[in-house]
Amino acid sequence: MRIITANLNGIRSAATKGFFTWLNRQRADVVCIQETKAQEWQLTDPVFHPAKFECHYHDAVKKGYSGTALFTRHTPQKIIHGLGIDWIDQEGRYLEAQFGNLSVISLYLPSGSSGEIRQEYKYRMMDAFLPHLQKLRAQNRSVVICGDWNIAHTEADIRNWRGNKKNSGFLPEERTWLSELFDKHGYCDAFRQLPQKEHEYTWWSQRGQARANNVGWRIDYQITSDDLAEQVQRTRVYRDKMFSDHAPLIIDYDFSIEP
């Protein structure tokens, strides 16, 4: 089973840059997208509903902002739009597809880089999201949470870690929250289940020559329940073409969706 996650920083912009042409060649079973920055009624062009996929969108109330999507080759038993928490759901940050006992989730955790108000919003969502993650594990569901978590977990996940210790996305409180998710709550970072080269990142600032010089952050993850940790077969960050300021993360697993 192949799962792709990609923050597109605008699905319409990514389409003009060839994202869907590339996607059609990837043989993905599930595709999780973040930052669609569009309302579903604006996406009537067939390009946004690629053949062989069922396409599900969860829009933000605010036009041109946030939003998540899920494309799947298999029909889910259930689609869940949001967490049932209004102040989160109005930003379109959570979309879940259930296939039997498996949940595949497209998640867009907020950034706090614009200032104190959004950083507090980010902490508030982290606090609200953790009980939901615990509930999924208590139900013994197998879970793959794909998306932009806006946190670089360790020094290996950010090129300039010394200069970013006090910046949103690499704050001690954020990193500790991820560590506790992995150490105490039954989740793992699928990317790190296999040996990786140094300096593998998924996001680069659009300032200067950050992408050309690979001065990046790894903030896009596929985080799975522990029962899937040994099912990771192959990981890849696709960088050949630039669809947004993020790169797609592709992971192959040794399990399949039951019909």
Check residue 258 and give its pLDDT.
Answer: 66
Ligand-binding site membership of 58 (annotated): no
Check residue 257 and give its pLDDT.
Answer: 82
| Active-site residue set | 108, 148, 246
Residue 259 belongs to some domain of the structure: no
Please state the domain count of the chain.
1
Which residue range is the domain that position 56 belongs to? 2-253
Residue 241 belongs to some domain of the structure: yes
> Which pTM was predicted?
0.97
Ligand-binding site membership of 7 (annotated): yes
Residue 258 belongs to some domain of the structure: no
Residue 158 belongs to some domain of the structure: yes
Strand 30-34 and strand 2-7: the pairing is parallel
Q: What is the pLDDT along the chain (259 residues), one digit of tens a residue?
A: 999 999 999 999 999 999 999 999 999 999 999 999 999 999 999 999 999 999 999 999 999 999 999 999 999 999 999 999 999 999 999 999 999 999 999 999 999 999 999 999 999 999 999 999 999 999 999 999 999 999 999 999 999 999 999 999 999 999 999 999 999 999 999 999 999 999 999 999 998 899 999 999 999 999 999 999 999 999 999 999 999 999 999 999 999 886 5
Ligand-binding site membership of 148 (annotated): yes
Residue 188 belongs to some domain of the structure: yes
* Spatial separation of the C-alpha atoms in residues 246 and 190, rounded to whole Å: 18
- Give how far the C-alpha of residue 217 lies from the chain's centroid of Cα atoms, to the nearest Å: 14
**Residue 62 is part of a domain; what is its CATH number?**
3.60.10.10
On whether the CB atoms of residues 227 and 220 are closer than 8 A, the answer is: no
